Amino acid sequence: MGRRIALEKKVQAHGREISDELRRFFRERGIYVVNLIGSPGGGKTRLLEALAPRLRGHTAVIEGDLQTDRDKQRIERAGLRAYQINTQGACHLDAAMVRRAVDEFSLDGIRLLFIENVGNLVCPAGFEIGEDVKVAVVSITEGEDKPAKYPKALFVSAAMVLTKMDLLPYVECDVERMKREALEIKPSLRVFETSATADRGLDPFLDWIEASAAQRR
């Protein structure tokens, strides 16, 4: 058991080293990195598609999925450069995967990089991959109990984006409870109510990202 614990700590430490290396790489090039975490079907890709017209020319996306490049294709059709990472069963991206992607994916001219993590509210919360911030993407169709059930995902995130708000008349979801419980976990959390379909709440979210990036620079 002692050996297993020591090995896990060694692997985690190595991952943090690579993450720090990536963070230095991005900052030297003036690239602000947003790590999107959330459940499968929570609306991460759709959010990026809706933001794409506002981001073309200076933004790229790294897509993480177990299999297929379908999300990459969607992002490219929306007009953004994209790179696909298939984890072959791993439930999250790690820093080594992102470093390999960066070695193969040109980021010339890029100021903003979104990394769409594997669909999961558990594993991605525990790993840094060189990002400046994590953002938890949570759909109202998942139910208002998600913040309380997955507190770490909220605690490690700088913002929570509530998606599919246009569906509120058709689903049972106490949005105020959702926001209240999320802020109990992390009082400084920024909360954005969005609908990619109705083009709602996207500008405040993007304004926050741009302000955060400017503050870091």
N-term to C-term CA, the chain: 45
pLDDT on residue 4 = 59
Please determine, for residue 136, whether its predicted confidence score (pLDDT) is greater than 70. yes
Can you give the pLDDT at residue 129? 98
**Where do runs of H (alpha helix) occur along the chain?**
2-28, 44-55, 70-77, 95-104, 146-149, 151-155, 175-185, 202-216
Specify the pTM: 0.93
Pick from 120, 174, 128, 211: nearest CA to 162: 174
Q: Please give the average per-residue pLDDT across 64-90, as a whole number.
A: 97
Out of 5-9, 33-37, 121-125, 138-142, pick the least confident: 5-9
All residues at 6 or more sequence positions from 41 whose CB lies less than 8 Å from its CB, including other chains: 119, 139
Sheet holding 133-139, edge to edge: 81-86, 59-65, 112-116, 32-38, 133-139, 159-163, 190-193
Please state, rounded to an integer, the average pLDDT across all residues of the chain.
94
Q: Which of 171, 183, 184, 177 is nearest to 140 (CA)?
A: 171
| C-alpha distances in Å from residue 17, one per residue of 12, 96, 208 | 9, 10, 28
**Contact (Cβ atoms closer than 8 angstroms) between residue 110 and residue 67:** no
Taking only the tens place, the pLDDT of each residue in 7-29 is 345 456 678 899 999 999 999 99
